[in-house]
Amino acid sequence: MLQFQSKGMRFVFWVVSMFFTVSVFATNDVDTIPALKTKTPFFKNADTLNIKRFAIVNGTSLLALYGSYHYIHNAWWADSRKRFHFDGGGSRITQAFDFGRDAIYAKGLDKVGHFYGARITSDIFARGIRWSGKTEAQSLIWGGLLGTAVQGFIEIKDGYSPTWGFSVYDWMSGSLGSFYPFFQSKSKFLSAVDIKYSYYRKHNYYFDYIKRESNFQDDYMNSTFWLTYNPKRYKPSSKWPKWLGISVGLGVDHTLNNYYINMPGGTSDWGKGGYEFYLAPDIDFKGLLPKKPFWQTLAHVLNYIKVPTPALRLSRNSKFMPVHF
């Protein structure tokens, strides 16, 4: 039985299904915004609070919460509970920052996964709240707070699990990711920078050795996280194509191998493995698709993912790849 499994990105897939959960708490100042009386196109944000939209958001959220919590409880937290503990093994608050297995797990790539996942979580919250009629600033702040709360909730649950523990570093990474959309709104440079993800199964090690139903988001040997930059977004007057970006990727190679506990070699190989860096062009769908609410919503979602392009890999086995997924 697997004794340790990454927490890196799994909360993304939970929260995406939640679809703007607990945005109802962002209505504390509802009396300061008049209810919308004119019809607004579905994919366009309301200018003032739309009661029907809030009902849709919160009704969907409650249903999704019940179903998603039931699923993840059985999938991740069904093992027998134990006393609350941190990832380093201790239970005292003074031991919260002790380095445990989490410090070397997956060469730290799971921290990037937490940042990326929390950014999506926060973005979903914020866009749902904005769609219902809140201001941009209110929506982004609430998105950051709610994304941080979701990450904290999952870490608390992990703190009672016999196979995991509360990781302060995971929570900090997730908190930073949760407020990244807010930081983007305050920085001209960050507004041109996206965080993306790509996955392609090049090695079967994870699936060959984990004797259970596995989730691909925990398979870091086949994952790449990307930092993409679009010069046109930073300087709209430039002649740079508005659909073209520049990206830098980070991954780990197949020599990571035994970073899963109960693998051949046990814990002796934790922390081993090599980094892989990538340079590649990127497609910015916001500059590619029409400037209509539906298409820009679709472009926003598609921009979570790095599409396959040619890439230069810089690692112990550097090479140019005609297509990298």
DSSP 226-285: EEEE-HHHH-TTS-S-TTEEEEEEEEE-GGG---STTSTTGGGGTT---EEEEEEEEE-H
How far is it, in rounded angstroms, from Cα 274 to Cα 277? 10
Pairwise pLDDT comparison (182 vs 221), residue with the higher score? 182
59 with 78, same domain: the answer is yes
263 with 141, same domain: the answer is no
- How confident is the prediction for the chain on average, in pLDDT? 78
Cβ(260)–Cβ(281) below 8 Å: no
- Which pLDDT belongs to residue 268? 55
- Which pLDDT belongs to residue 72? 62
194 with 182, same domain: the answer is no
How far is it, in rounded angstroms, from Cα 14 to Cα 197? 17
The pLDDT tens digits for 268-304 are 555 567 889 999 999 999 999 999 988 998 999 999 9
Least confident residue range of 15-19, 87-91, 227-231: 15-19
Predicted structure pTM score: 0.80
Cβ(161)–Cβ(154) below 8 Å: no
132 with 256, same domain: the answer is no
Torsional sign, CA 85, 269, 195, 131: negative
- If you compute the radius of gyration of the chain from its CA atoms, what whole number of angstroms results? 21
309 with 221, same domain: the answer is yes
- Which pLDDT belongs to residue 309? 96
Asked if pLDDT for residue 69 goes beyond 70, the answer is no
**Of the residues 164, 186, 208, the one at which a domain ends:** 186
Question: What residue numbers bound the domain in which 57 lies?
Answer: 1-186
159 with 198, same domain: the answer is no
**Of the residues 162, 186, 210, the one at which a domain ends:** 186
- Which pLDDT belongs to residue 239? 94
**Of the residues 186, 219, 246, the one at which a domain ends:** 186
State the pairing for strand pair 275-283/309-314. antiparallel
- Which pLDDT belongs to residue 283? 96
Say what angle helices 109-132 and 51-76 make with each other, to 10 degrees: 150
70 with 194, same domain: the answer is no
Least confident residue range of 14-18, 138-142, 148-152: 14-18
250 with 206, same domain: the answer is yes
Cβ(109)–Cβ(226) below 8 Å: no
CA–CA distances in Å: residue 5 to residues 8, 52, 74, 81, 244? 9, 41, 14, 16, 36
